[in-house]
Each structure stands twice: as C-alpha cells, then as structure tokens.
Amino acid sequence: MKKISLTCVECPLGCDITVELDGERVVSVAGNTCPRGEKYAKAEVVCPKRVLTTTVRLENGKMLPVKTNQPIEKSLTFNAMQRVSKVTVASPIKIGDVIVKDLYEGIDLVACANSD
C-alpha cells in the first residue's frame, strides 16, 4: 500500500487529503470535507489533468492567449504544446473561437481574448 498526500484545490478550504493506493487502485481517501475533494484526489493520483493555457501567434506577429476548453491529461501536455507551437492564426478572432479543433480526444483549443 502506498499513501499520497496532497492539497485539494477544488474549493477555498484547501483540505489536506491522504489517498491510499494499492497499485493503481484507490483504496481510500481521507481528509476531504466535501465530495468534490474525494473526486479530485482520486483523479489526481490516477490520471491528473490540467487546463492547458498558453499563446498562439497571430499573422501580424502578436500573441493571442488560448486555453483548452477542458482539462487534458497532464502526460499529454508536452505533445499538446508541440502541436500548439506550430499554430498561426489570422485576425479577427473573438473570445471563445475555436483555434484548434480536437487538439486531443474532442478537446478544443479556444481563444481567451479578441484579436486586434
């Protein structure tokens, strides 16, 4: 059995959570004060995910902030960044426009700002 300690980031309480693992299987979760903490802890130790936030180049040379519309597996971050680094887009772009459709398994890269 392996124990992993982490701090929950699902709400402002920041609970100190302990997850007990048997191999890759979660045996128990302790320390959370809400159900969101348990869900977060299980996902974090088995398959952590993050929203990817970065920038892409506009044709005019400026940068446009973008993010994935859903979290992606943390292990895919490097590959996703390699794909995103090759992207150049033309104005006009509006907040929420899809910049890269289906970056990974149905997850899109979307604009976080309007272009000039």
- Read off the pTM: 0.81
Residues of the chain with CATH 3.10.530.10: 53-111
Compute the average pLDDT of residues 1-21.
Answer: 95
pLDDT, tens only, 28-46? 999 999 999 999 999 999 9
Give the Cα separation of 29 and 105 in Å (integer): 29
pLDDT, tens only, 78-113? 999 999 999 999 999 999 999 999 999 899 999 999
Q: Chain centroid to CA 18: how far?
A: 22
Q: Are 61 and 89 in contact (CB under 8 A)?
A: no
Calculated CA dihedral for residues 19, 37, 109, 101, nearest 10 degrees = 80
Homologous superfamily of the 53-111 domain (CATH): CPE0013-like (3.10.530.10)
